Amino acid sequence: MADLNQLRRISEAVQAGDADACAGHTKQSLEAGASPLEIIEQGLTAGIRVVGEKFGCGEMFLPELMLAMQAMKEGLKLVDPELKKMKLEQKSLGKVLMGTVKGDIHDIGKDIVSSMLELNGYKVVDLGINVAAETFTRKIGEERPQVIGLSAMLTTTMQEQRRVVEALRESGLREQVKVIVGGAPVSQKWAGEIGADGYGANAELAVKLVKTLTGAA
Amino acid sequence: MAKFFGRGRGLEYLSQQQVLDWHQHALQLLSTVGAKVSWEPALKLLAEAGCDVNKSTCLVRMPAHLVEQAIRLAPGRFRLGGRDPATDVIVGGLEVHTTGSGNCVNVIDLESGEHRPGTFRDLQDMVRLQDALDNLETCQNPITPQDLPRPGLYVKAFEGMVRNTGKHLINQAESGEEVNDHVDILAAAVGSREEVLRRKLVSFVCCFKSPFTYGEENLRVLFECARLGLPLLIETDPISGATAPVTLAGLLVQQAAELLFGIALAQLVSPGAPVFFANAPTVMDMRSGVVSEGSPERCLYYIYCAQLCRHYDIPSCGVPGTSDSKQNDLQSGIERTATLLTSALAGYNLLYSAAGTINSVLTSSLEGIVVDDELYSYVRRVLRGIDFSSEKIDSSLEAIARVAHSGKSFLTDKHTRDNLRAEHWLPTIMDRRTYEVFEASDQKGILDFARAKARKILADHQPLALAAGADKAIEAVVERAARRAENRG
């Protein structure tokens, strides 16, 4: 049986965005014999749920949300090996591959969307910035995501989003994944024009879009 | 303890010498042109004090030394107490404080959008709404209810104010007895007259007519308030080109003289009486004959008067944040923001009566009041300035060193989270959505958000309860006032 106080402290550490404290309490809980599932459900996820609610009603803000996500991830890192031993996997609504396209080094929008997706129960593999079309196609093979997200901040680099979609088509992967695009100059019209599956005007709508595309909505 | 809203930045146009000249010209007007005073006890008091009083014309010429003495006697700072002591404010110096909506006769209906006469119900809704809005610190009577009988109107309106807010109250009265009706209603609400007077829970507006006309009704109120020690908003509203010279400097000299005369009278009644240098100067629109409340001249009047009031060390009070527009639109946004922000930066002490109003302060609305609470919050942020302390700089330099070249952004640095709320203004009803979200939404911007916020507050908010047994005592005072006013006819 898990110590409820310890689980509460994990949840609070997530809410405070304190990664060190979250890792510490998670470790103590595991050593005290708590099950990984209890830690995830009543500690880590419970904490992030509070953050999500407060963010939704305007009481918490992006930096707090993102720090909370980081704290939760520190906890999950420790729980994951224990889950594997039990032949279990973390529950997830699906996997999303995220990256900022080649020639573009802007990552804040992508990071925000990634955090929001994780907050909503998706596993996100972040390929970082300046990601070439070939890297996307190669990683799709390795990671088998349901969705890939292409970020572009500049009117010049948004053209690269079209190239990635074309590369997917050429390598026969286009039907295996849904493609979403985002970034300041991008619009729904643009998404249609380049043959992507969707566009979200902000992080919240991006999550909604992914949920629709993965059948989770 | 008292609430802090913000500190003005002393925006100034005049040299010290020009301020002194302004004052000398005002003194000269009082000792030559003089004031018309139509109430015998006031004439008597002024004559005894050494003024040159002509009993047949009622003209009073006031010697400079009486004015100088009054400026010395008038307090530079005083408290405006609330029934809820946590809402007390202290006015004076460079401190800026605010008031809610004031004295309109019409409202825009929250649900139908109709422009219609304001009612007692509207008054109570507005006061209760303002009670919940933190940036509207004191409460002026927002509506002159058109559905109440005329006799005793202000006293009945005041009952509606007392029941719906714990903040400091500002109202008008028609006689000395009515001033005491106000005190008695508040005494019933808080337990004693002594408490009402000691904590100065109510102020009164004494608005005299330009040029230099001091009527009986307002003089009676002035005498009674000064005697009781209640704060007085001694006000004139000269109109450039109509009731004052078309030259703005001429208007300002005339107005300073008019207000100094009222202030001197209050100090003669009761040395040390708390008084505001209160004003709402305007220009007449020379095409339509309409008096403009939202002009750039209004900005200038307040910047200049703030400097003069600091010289006198007498708290200033004015009506910026006003608009001539007939709707809550861009014009009203321009006029409200410009007059309010400049007055606040200048350090005008009490920004009063304009919140939520349009139509030259004749129409108010619940959504407008919510919008102006947001605007006051915005102004408050500007007044606060930027924290350039070594502590802030040092922690920022550490954050820069940590984040730059790390491959991360400031968004996920703890420094961002820890300082966010103090550094960034966080709006409640400004539309900062993306275009697509706006397009898909039923809520089309600030007025829709404001209406939703107003509805929520009116559904949820309960003002501070009255003392036990207050209802009966208040009813008796309101009845007494109505009967007396009827008898007077």
How do residues A98-138 score in pLDDT, each as one tens digit? 999 998 888 888 988 998 898 888 999 999 999 999 999 99
Flag whether residue B422 sits within 8 Å of chain A, measured between CB atoms: no
Residue stretches of chain B with pLDDT short of 70: 489
Instruction: For residue A16, give how far its alpha carbon lies from the nearest alpha carbon of chain B (Å).
Output: 10
Average pLDDT over residues A3-27: 94
Pairing of strands B78-80, B89-91: antiparallel
What are the structure tokens assigned to B111, written together?
A: 């649900």
Instruction: Pick the residue of A20, A67, A209 with the most B CBs within 10 A to test the interface with B by mutation.
Output: A67
What are the structure tokens assigned to B444, written together?
A: 């089309």
User: Omega before B211 cis (within 30°)?
Assistant: yes
Residue A23 has pLDDT above 90, yes or no: yes
**Are A188 and B436 within 8 A, CB to CB?**
yes
Flag whether residue B17 sits within 8 Å of chain A, measured between CB atoms: no
Instruction: Pick the residue of A15, A62, A72 with the most B CBs within 10 A to test the interface with B by mutation.
Output: A62
Instruction: For residue B109, give how far its alpha carbon lies from the nearest alpha carbon of chain A (Å).
Output: 28
Each residue of A57-69: pLDDT tens digit?
Answer: 888 888 898 899 8
**Are B417 and A67 within 8 A, CB to CB?**
yes
Pairing of strands B316-318, B89-91: unpaired
Residue A163 has pLDDT above 60, yes or no: yes
Distance in angstroms (rounded) separating the CA atoms of residues A153 and A186: 8
SS3 B466: coil
B420, B436, B437: residue with CB nearest A61: B420
Three-class SS of B48-67: HCCCEEECCCCEEECCHHHH
Which residue does chain B place closest to A105, by CA atoms? B407
B411, B426, B437: residue with CB nearest A63: B411
Q: For chain A, what is the mean pLDDT? A: 91
Percentage of the residues of chain A whose pLDDT score is greater than 90: 60
Flag whether residue B420 sits within 8 Å of chain A, measured between CB atoms: yes
**Are B412 and A66 within 8 A, CB to CB?**
yes
SS3 B461: coil
What are the structure tokens assigned to B199, written together?
A: 């904590």
B411, B434, B436: residue with CB nearest A62: B411
Flag whether residue B414 sits within 8 Å of chain A, measured between CB atoms: yes
**Are A63 and B412 within 8 A, CB to CB?**
yes
CA A157 to chain centre: 23
Q: What is the pLDDT of residue B193?
A: 97
**Are A107 and B409 within 8 A, CB to CB?**
yes
Flag whether residue B436 sits within 8 Å of chain A, measured between CB atoms: yes
Distance in angstroms (rounded) separating the CA atoms of residues B348 and B355: 16
**Are A187 and B436 within 8 A, CB to CB?**
yes
Helix (H) or strand (E) holding A42: none
Instruction: Pick the residue of A57, A61, A70, A110 with the most B CBs within 10 A to test the interface with B by mutation.
Output: A61
Flag whether residue B456 sits within 8 Å of chain A, measured between CB atoms: no
Instruction: Pick the residue of B403, B409, B410, B412 with the most A CBs within 10 A to test the interface with A by mutation.
Output: B412
Which residue does chain A place closest to B409, by CA atoms? A108
Residues of A in contact with B433 (CB under 8 A): 202
**Are A201 and B436 within 8 A, CB to CB?**
yes
Q: What is the pLDDT of residue B489?
A: 61
Q: Say what the ipTM of the complex is.
A: 0.71
**Are B409 and A70 within 8 A, CB to CB?**
no
Residue A3 has pLDDT above 90, yes or no: no
Q: What is the pLDDT of residue B31?
A: 98
Distance in angstroms (rounded) separating the CA atoms of residues B381 and B135: 11
Q: What is the pLDDT of residue A185?
A: 87
Residues of A in contact with B409 (CB under 8 A): 107-108, 111
Flag whether residue B417 sits within 8 Å of chain A, measured between CB atoms: yes
Distance in angstroms (rounded) separating the CA atoms of residues B222 and B173: 10
Distances (CA, A) of B418 to A122, A179, A206, B226, B392: 28, 36, 27, 49, 11
Burial of B201 (0-12, 13-18, 19+ CB in 10 A): buried
Each residue of B423-475: pLDDT tens digit?
Answer: 999 999 999 988 888 888 999 999 999 999 999 999 999 999 999 999 999 99
Instruction: For residue A175, give how far its alpha carbon lies from the nearest alpha carbon of chain B (Å).
Output: 28
Each residue of A68-87: pLDDT tens digit?
Answer: 988 998 998 999 888 888 87
Residue A1 has pLDDT above 60, yes or no: no
Task: Give all strands of the β-sheet with B239-240 in edge-to-edge order.
Answer: B239-240, B282-284, B291-292
**Are B434 and A107 within 8 A, CB to CB?**
no
**Are B434 and A201 within 8 A, CB to CB?**
yes
β-bridge partners, B283? B240, B292
- Helical packing angle, A4-15 and A62-85, nearest 10°: 140
**Are A61 and B437 within 8 A, CB to CB?**
no
**Are A201 and B414 within 8 A, CB to CB?**
no
Q: Which residues of A touch B (CB under 8 A)?
A: 17, 58, 61-64, 66-67, 70, 107-108, 111-112, 187-188, 201-202, 205
Instruction: Pick the residue of B374, B417, B441 with the most A CBs within 10 A to test the interface with A by mutation.
Output: B417
Residue A2: which pLDDT band, with cuts at 50, 70 and 90? low
Distance in angstroms (rounded) separating the CA atoms of residues B181 and A207: 61
**Are A66 and B413 within 8 A, CB to CB?**
no
